[in-house]
Amino acid sequence: MDTTQRKNDRHNLEPETLQDLQVCLYDWQNYNFGKQDNERVLLGICEEAGELCHAQLKGEQDIRGDKKKHDEEMIDAIGDMMIYSMNYLSGMKAKFPSFTAREDVEKVDESEESGVKVVRRAVLSAFRMAGKIVESPNQENLVRQLVHHLAYLCALKGWDLEKIVRLTWKVEVAPRDWKKFPKNGRAPEAHAAAAPIPNGAPAAQPTA
């Protein structure tokens, strides 16, 4: 198989723009799964919205890991929500929206209860927006709003949303070949090399 990196195909690990990444992702999706029903893609958005809430809840309860682990799980969920959102827009033949980091939003102090509550509300807002997309499918503006909610959440946490998306693509999505390796998408040696990345999250937390 020709694995030469081209501008807008599944082998390009570092697309120039997020809109280019969307095209690469579409090529990756069609190779691995064929044309996807957009309702199936919605399942992915909802699954990851649930994972986002799960990580926030366990972090607040201070169980099932430390803050670093819960933050990694949140990053993983946010990255996957963005990837599924790109696929959803591709199914609508719509471009992924441009966005900028929320420099008007300051990182909150989560050692204070007030900071925890602000982050919690942002997580719940993203979850509600995912629900609105389910209730009113094929509305491009709702996906744009979801992206803005996630950008706001990342600003509160001190993370760079675009870096999260790019790391998710480069580390967790693009290297997987589900046709060849249906168990986990990776060749055994590649899976072993990826093992140190906990819970499928980027090895290092992207920061602003």
Residue-wise pLDDT for 116-162, tens only, equals 999 999 999 999 999 999 999 999 999 999 999 999 999 999 999 99
pLDDT reported for residue 101: 86
The CATH class given to the 18-200 domain equals mainly alpha
Share of the chain above pLDDT 70, in %: 87
- DSSP H helix total and E strand total for the chain: 7, 0
Instruction: Name the nearest CA neighbour of 101 among 152, 146, 167.
Output: 152
The answer to whether residue 59 scores a pLDDT higher than 80 is yes
Higher confidence at residue 207 or residue 71? 71
pLDDT reported for residue 7: 64
Burial 38-69 (b: 16+ CB within 10 A, else e): eeebbebbbebbebbbebbeebeeeeebeeeb
Helix (H, G, I), strand (E, B) or coil at 179: coil
- Rounded CA gap, 70 and 106, in Å? 21
Question: Which H helix or E strand runs over 129?
Answer: helix 113-135
As a whole number, mean pLDDT of residues 183-193 equals: 79
Query: Where residue 201 falls among pLDDT bands split at 50, 70, 90?
Result: very low
Query: Where residue 189 falls among pLDDT bands split at 50, 70, 90?
Result: confident
* 8 A C-beta contact, residue 54 and residue 73: yes
pLDDT reported for residue 188: 85
pLDDT reported for residue 193: 60
pLDDT reported for residue 206: 44
Q: Is the pTM for the entire model greater than 0.85?
A: yes
Query: Where residue 207 falls among pLDDT bands split at 50, 70, 90?
Result: very low
Q: Round the average pLDDT of the chain to a whole number and report it.
A: 90
Q: How far apart are the first and last CA of the chain?
A: 38
pLDDT reported for residue 69: 97
Tell me the angle at which helices 18-33 and 67-91 cross, rounded to the nearest 10 degrees: 80
Q: Which residue has the tokens 């819970």?
A: 199
pLDDT reported for residue 5: 53
Residue 107 has phi, psi (to 5 degrees) of -65, 135
* 8 A C-beta contact, residue 157 and residue 74: yes
Query: Where residue 192 falls among pLDDT bands split at 50, 70, 90?
Result: low
